[in-house]
């Protein structure tokens, strides 16, 4: 069913952050920092995959994402919804259902056998494709997926995510240079604000997280092992 109610963006951000904290999808730990895929440390961690196991929260956030897409990009802006392998696939399916659109997904690299395809499902030349993912940090993986979509002759000028880090400069600009607009529900700053109001973590941890969010590269350099 296509959502018909449109809460304000700041309310969507607050509620999304609240739900991520409620189900343990977010964790802060400054004493024993997490190690990211880059090999660098950080006191924050988010796992949006947990959302698929919580039906009420999952449904609400998918409504929020569909609302955000329609409000920001348009009600008749797309012909196809593509999920990025792997975390974006369930969210793309749920958004496609709400927008009453076909769903496809994009592999990170060709299969290596058979059709050697990166696109699974039916995507045709001229279709306007929305790329859906769970989150974005610097936008790099989004550009790779967009390029694969465009190789089919389809267009892809929008990507939608549940969570945008919002702390690394140049992300939105890099996507814009690739003619891609980013749509998202909340950022680390929204999570930090809700965590403070709920006293979800101790004061020292919240202070360290704020330092990281304000200057992530400097924090990582200071906390390298």
Q: pLDDT tens digits for 115-130? A: 668 999 999 999 999 9
Q: How much is the CA Rg of the chain, to the nearest whole Å?
A: 18
For the beta carbon of residue 178, count every other beta carbon within 10 angstroms: 16
CATH class of 9-219: alpha beta
User: What local confidence, expressed as pLDDT, does residue 114 receive?
Assistant: 59
**Residue 110 clears pLDDT 90, i.e. is over it:** no
Query: DSSP strand E in 137-218: where?
Result: 155-164, 181-187
Of 215, 206, 146, 132, nearest in space to 174 by CA: 146
CA distance 120 to 23: 31
Say whether 183 sits in a helix, a strand or coil.
strand
Question: What pLDDT score was predicted for residue 123?
Answer: 97
Q: What is the pTM of this model?
A: 0.93
Lowest mean pLDDT among 114-118, 153-157, 172-176: 114-118
* Predicted local confidence at residue 181, as pLDDT: 97
pLDDT digits (tens, 9 = 90+) for 6-24: 899 999 999 999 999 999 9
186 pLDDT exceeds 90? Answer: yes
At 183 the pLDDT is: 97
Q: What is the band of 205 on the pLDDT scale with cuts at 50, 70, 90? A: very high
Residue 186, strand partner residues? 163
Per-residue pLDDT tens for 40-85? 899 999 999 999 999 999 999 999 999 999 999 999 999 999 999 9
> Would you kindly state where each structural domain of the chain is located, as residue ranges?
9-219
């Amino acid at each position: 069913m296509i959502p018909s109610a449109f809460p304000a963006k700041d309310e969507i951000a607050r509620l999304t952050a609240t739900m991520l904290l409620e189900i343990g999808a977010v964790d802060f730990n400054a004493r024993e920092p997490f190690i990211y895929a880059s090999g660098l440390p950080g006191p924050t961690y988010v796992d949006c995959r947990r959302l698929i196991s919580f039906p009420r929260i999952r449904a609400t956030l998918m409504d929020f994402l569909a609302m955000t897409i329609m409000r920001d990009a348009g009600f008749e802006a797309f012909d196809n919804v593509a999920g990025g392998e792997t975390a974006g696939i369930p969210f793309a399916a749920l958004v496609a259902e709400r927008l009453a659109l076909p769903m496809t997904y994009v592999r990170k690299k060709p299969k290596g056998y058979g059709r050697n395809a990166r696109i699974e499902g039916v995507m045709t030349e001229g279709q306007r494709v929305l790329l859906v993912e769970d989150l974005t940090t610097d936008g790099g993986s989004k550009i790779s997926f967009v390029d694969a979509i465009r190789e089919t002759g389809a267009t892809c000028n929008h990507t939608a995510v549940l969570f945008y880090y919002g702390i690394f400069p140049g992300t939105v600009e890099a996507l814009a240079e690739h003619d891609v607009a980013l749509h998202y529900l909340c950022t680390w700053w929204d999570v930090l604000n809700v965590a403070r109001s709920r006293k979800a973590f101790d004061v020292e941890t919240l202070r360290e997280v704020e330092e990281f969010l304000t200057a992530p590269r400097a924090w990582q350099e200071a906390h390298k092992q």
